[in-house]
Amino acid sequence: MKWNADLYDQKHSFVFQYGEDVLALLDVKPGEHILDIGCGTGHLTKQIQDKGAIVKGTDYSPDMIAQAKKLFPGVDFAVENAADFYTEQKYDAVFSNAALHWVLDANGAIKSIYNALKPGGRFVAEMGGKGNVAKLLEAIRLVLQNHGYPDKAETKVWYFPSTAEYAKLLEDHGFRVTFTAHYDRKTPLQDGDQGVAKWVTMFGAQFLEGIPEEEKEQILAEITKKLEPYYNENGQWYADYKRLRFVAVKE
């Protein structure tokens, strides 16, 4: 999947703005070595550095990393696969915001992160949890099926685990889970009734790959119509986000 880094910063800045809460959970100490996985355009990585840490931000998207380097030239960024990486440098903490649900190989990611941490190091993250954008997914699948795209409807874009499911994976890899929460966080969409189409185009582009442009617009309009009763609150549209947040320690 190719990311539009400019659109991400302009229209979907809620991704890193909400992530500022998770930074409080990270509780950065000056001088700590911290790895920020799935750093996107680097806004939170820069905030971690501003708190006195020695930080590195990584992302699978070359476009995101190019944008991050342009915005924050004084921060260390690299293109890396979260599901399969190795680092000589061992970290005091690994941080991740709104990225791990893109990593379908959760075991690969947790194993790589565990190996990147010092003993006693902490893994602090927030990601989409079970039920995240459930209404949206339901609408996308239904409309794609109605248009004769049953295979597209089954596209696996994200991994949204429950608390128990993810905690078990963490424990299986040697982590001790010290904190976890799974909560609703309805998220405002910009641009009114255009917000759904823009969200799907930005984050769910894989569902629409290969579909002719005209039909794509029709599909997006139908998805929007199905979601209106749930998403439109007096003109402000909200997506049905459910987030999973946790802290785990390498034993």
What confidence tens digit (pLDDT) does each residue in 242-251 have?
A: 999 999 999 9
Report the range of poorest mean pLDDT among 19-23, 37-41, 210-214: 19-23
**Token representation of residue 134:** 């459930």
How many structural domains comprise the chain? 1
Range of the domain at 110: 5-250
Residues 6+ apart with CB under 8 A from 182: 129, 130, 162, 163, 242, 243, 244, 245
Tens of pLDDT, residues 179-236: 999 999 999 998 889 999 999 998 999 999 999 999 999 999 999 999 999 999 999 9
Residue 163 tokens read as: 């608390």
Fill in the amino acid letter for 150: P
CATH number at residue 144: 3.40.50.150
Q: Whole-structure pTM over 0.85, yes or no?
A: yes
Question: From CA 249, how far away is CA 176, in angstroms rounded?
Answer: 5
Question: What CA–CA distance (Å, rounded) separates 152 from 62?
Answer: 26
Worst-scoring range by mean pLDDT, 49-53, 56-60, 76-80, 189-193?
189-193
Please state which of the ranges 5-9, 62-66, 233-237 shows the lowest mean pLDDT.
5-9
Determine the Cα–Cα distance for residues 37 and 247; give it in Å rounded to an integer.
15
Does residue 37 register a pLDDT over 50?
yes
- Tell me the per-residue pLDDT of 106-135, one tens digit each, with 9 for 90 and over: 999 999 999 999 999 999 999 999 999 999
- Label the pairing between strands 91-97 and 33-37: parallel
Over residues 28-41, mean pLDDT: 97
Q: What 3-state class would DSSP assign to 95? A: strand
Instruction: Give 149-167 pLDDT, tens digit per residue.
Output: 999 999 999 999 999 999 9
Q: How far, in Å, CA of 21 to CA of 25, rounded?
A: 7
